[in-house]
Amino acid sequence: MTGFKFYLSDEDHPTMRDDLAVLLRSLGGQQEEEDPTQAQIIIVHGNSDQLEETLHEHGIYIEYTTAEGLSCQPNLRGMKKSYKISFSLLVKRLKRLTTPTSIHDIVQVITKPEKPVTYSASIVVLCQGYLAVHAATSGYASIIENSQPPDTAFKEALKLMGWSEKARDLVKNVDIHIVQDPSWWKSVLQFGTYNGFSLNVLKEEWDFMTSDVFPDELPTFVAALLNDNMITDHNIVARVYCLLAAKLQSTFS
């Protein structure tokens, strides 16, 4: 079931409170202005004995602090369904959700522990190397030169990378077959080793960064590596790069 009622209380930081209200409404929430007992989720700055008492009967209780770096702490002062978290982390985690959402989704996303996204970051770096070599060997000095390249995904990726003539000069002598060889990718990602890379690991990292559906491009790309296929389609590499780079940026910015 999606949709929920929320109650906010923060007299000291009205801007933070209002920003949080806008975010929760964007996730399908309806704000209860007067009576916290009518809300399914109560979010406050600091603590309130009155609201804590309300919590036991009526819903989820989240207390946020302006201090940076406080990870989510459950069972606040011994209460079930209660959490304490820094405001910045609360907002960052809520932004991982898409509308419509539910109370269950909110609890899941704010309580999910921070997780390294080692393989997603490694793939992004490898994609940058591949795309840089492809662009250099294709003669693209810049992304605006003669409206090149024509491939939309490739052009978007080069823009994200900040591709330039100076960057081209750094890789212009690299053989394209090196980065097309699956062994170049697999040596970094450590396929087949203990705790090494797999599609399931990549999906876990994706699910940590976002609630969006796992895109088809990623299994297709991983399957090509597993089957030792030469990576000759620069567009699939560009799409993989854009997908993962965007999620990494939104998660950690």
Confidence of residue 77 (pLDDT cuts 50, 70, 90): low
114-148: per-residue pLDDT in tens?
Answer: 667 889 999 999 999 999 999 888 877 655 555 55
Local structure of 81: helix, strand or coil: coil
- Indicate the range of 102-106, 109-113, 186-190 predicted with least confidence: 109-113
From the list 201, 210, 199, 136, the residue with the least C-alpha distance to 173 is: 136
Peptide linkage before 149 cis (omega within 30 of 0)? yes
Give the pLDDT score at 234: 93
Report the distance separating Cα 190 and Cα 195, nearest Å. Answer: 9
Give the pLDDT score at 194: 47
φ, ψ for residue 242, nearest 5 deg:
-60, -40
The shares of helix, strand and coil residues in the chain, as percent rounded to the nearest 5, are 55, 10, 35
Residue pointed to by tokens 């009526």: 58
Average pLDDT value for residue range 65-88:
77
Tokens of 94: 């809520």
167-214: per-residue pLDDT in tens?
Answer: 788 888 899 999 999 999 988 887 655 456 888 889 988 888 777 889
Give the pLDDT score at 223: 93
Q: Where exactly are the structural domains of the chain?
A: 4-111, 118-252
Give the pLDDT score at 51: 58
Report the distance separating Cα 230 and Cα 18, nearest Å. Answer: 52
Length of the chain: 253
Mean pLDDT for the chain overall = 83
**77, amino acid identity:** R
Report the distance separating Cα 180 and Cα 166, nearest Å. Answer: 23
Average pLDDT value for residue range 222-233:
93
Tokens of 129: 């190397």
Give the pLDDT score at 243: 95
- Considering the segment(s) 4-111 as one domain, its CATH architecture is 3-Layer(aba) Sandwich (3.40)
Report the distance separating Cα 73 and Cα 35, nearest Å. Answer: 26
CA-angle at 220, arms to 212 and 243, nearest 5°: 40
Tokens of 93: 């985690």
Give the pLDDT score at 143: 59
Tokens of 157: 């990726």
Average pLDDT value for residue range 38-44:
89
- Indicate the range of 35-44, 75-84, 180-189, 226-235 predicted with least confidence: 75-84
